[in-house]
Amino acid sequence: MSHRQLPAAVRLGLVLAFAIGWILHPHIQKEILISWLFCIVVVSMTRIISLRHIASDDFNEAQANQYSIRYTVTAFLLGTTWASVAFLVPYVGTEERILIFVLLISIAGGALTTTASHVISFYFYSYPILIAYAANVFLLGERVWVLLGVLTMVYAIYMTIAAWKLSSSLKESITLRYRWQETADTLEKTREDLNRELDNRTVAENKLKSVMSELEQAVSHLEQLAAFDELTGIPNRRSFDAAIAREWNRARREQSSIALLMIDVDYFKNFNDLYLHQQGDDALKQVARVLQQHTQRPGDTAARYGGEEFALILVNPTADYVKKTAETLRQDILDLRIKHDRSEVSDYLTVSIGTAMSNAPGNDDYSVLIRSADGALYEAKQAGRNQVIAA
């Protein structure tokens, strides 16, 4: 309950008190006048002190009822002190009575601006003043003063209604302001919650993106593992099947040629038995690297077909190119100079190669090409190995 105008109103009241004292001092004993002024000052200061405590940071809701009562009591005491002036009206002249009437009416009505938020205090402050003055002028008995007393009572009724309406409006305004503040606080909290949720969602989305990226990398890695031979690092049988089907369909669609080289390492079992599997694996890796060097053209694919057997797909080649590539490949592997003491055709590791070629494939399946190349490989092995046979 903060009445910001109260300190200024109290100071104005003190000025008016001294003004009334100046009016009364020729007619009233000095001791009575000083006592009255002293009461005005003491009660006024008590109200200001109470107000300052209410406005301080130490004030809490639990003290509100206690200070509301104190505030009302001091309002009543101050109003009663002002009302005591009315009892002195019979001892002054007519002009002084009128002047005192104007001042008291002003003091009673002016309190409305300072106590509107606590209307009970206004009633306890203004009623003693107005009732005391009206009663005293009624006692004067003259018609003019009786009329003035009636006007005073009408004024009191009017101020009662005005105070109630003003208090209701003020309370409604305070309620609306409180609700507005409450709504603003709710909206601010909602905004903070939304920002927090947005931040959490952003973090979650970033985590999800990170997880998806890791998942894509893992899938890509798995696809590589599934598509490439673990030992040699070149495409495996699964990739070979997909590549030859793709290139066979392309050759049929574009009416172009396609060739297949089937390569088998000669006497590889004997090599493994003599040099053990570690050197056997190293030998297969070297053969795969040489084979990979012959896939420089787009679409050409080298693959490990199984065990010591490899395959090379050539896209849109000529017959001479197929023959030259196969012979170069055989010689390049021989030139690796991998020692093979249990080979029956050479002191070094060799390969046998069977080739097959199809020009503008028709409705046949690519398995026809595989069978032809595999048959040519069988003939190369039967013919003594370390050679190239074309189907």
Predicted local distance difference test score (pLDDT) of residue 116: 64
pTM of the model: 0.50
Q: Is the pLDDT of residue 222 over 80?
A: no
Q: Is the pLDDT of residue 280 over 90?
A: yes
Statement to judge: residues 162 and 245 lie in one domain: no
* pLDDT, tens only, 197-209: 888 888 888 888 8
Statement to judge: residues 249 and 356 lie in one domain: yes
Q: Is the pLDDT of residue 59 over 70?
A: no
Statement to judge: residues 149 and 241 lie in one domain: no
What is the mean predicted confidence (pLDDT) over 266-286? 94
* pLDDT, tens only, 77-105: 888 888 887 777 677 777 777 787 788 77
- To the nearest whole percent, how much of the chain has pLDDT over 70? 90
Statement to judge: residues 281 and 158 lie in one domain: no
205-232 residues labelled b (16+ CB within 10 A) or e (exposed): eeeeeeeeeeeeeeeeeeeeeeebbeeb
What is the mean predicted confidence (pLDDT) over 363-367? 87
Q: Is the pLDDT of residue 114 over 70?
A: no
User: Under 8 Å CB-to-CB from 183, ≥6 apart: which residues?
Assistant: none
Domain's final residue, options 187, 205, 221: 187
What is the mean predicted confidence (pLDDT) over 47-63? 59
Asked whether residue 219 is assigned to any structural domain, the reply reads no
Asked whether residue 200 is assigned to any structural domain, the reply reads no
Asked whether residue 196 is assigned to any structural domain, the reply reads no
Tell me which range, 133-137, 165-169, 228-232, is most confidently predicted by mean pLDDT. Answer: 228-232
Residues forming beta bridges with residue 261, ordered by sequence position: 312, 355
Predicted local distance difference test score (pLDDT) of residue 52: 62
Statement to judge: residues 148 and 249 lie in one domain: no
Q: Is the pLDDT of residue 131 over 70?
A: yes
* pLDDT, tens only, 171-189: 677 677 778 888 888 888 8
Domain that holds residue 132: 6-187
**Residue 151 confidence class, pLDDT cut points 50, 70, 90:** confident
Predicted local distance difference test score (pLDDT) of residue 374: 95
Predicted local distance difference test score (pLDDT) of residue 104: 79
Angle at which helix 119-140 crosses helix 143-227, to 10 degrees, equals 170
Asked whether residue 1 is assigned to any structural domain, the reply reads no
* pLDDT, tens only, 2-53: 445 556 666 777 787 788 888 877 877 888 888 888 888 888 787 777 666 5
Statement to judge: residues 171 and 247 lie in one domain: no
Predicted local distance difference test score (pLDDT) of residue 117: 67
Q: Are 106 and 17 in contact (CB under 8 A)?
A: no
Residue 82's closest CA among 149, 13, 134, 26? 13
CATH code of 311's domain = 3.30.70.270
Statement to judge: residues 59 and 181 lie in one domain: yes
Tally the domains of the chain.
Answer: 2
Q: Is the pLDDT of residue 305 over 90?
A: yes
**Residue 56 confidence class, pLDDT cut points 50, 70, 90:** low
Predicted local distance difference test score (pLDDT) of residue 1: 42
Predicted local distance difference test score (pLDDT) of residue 87: 77
Asked whether residue 232 is assigned to any structural domain, the reply reads no
Dihedrals phi, psi of 4, to nearest 5 degrees: -65, -25
Burial of 12 (0-12, 13-18, 19+ CB in 10 A): middle
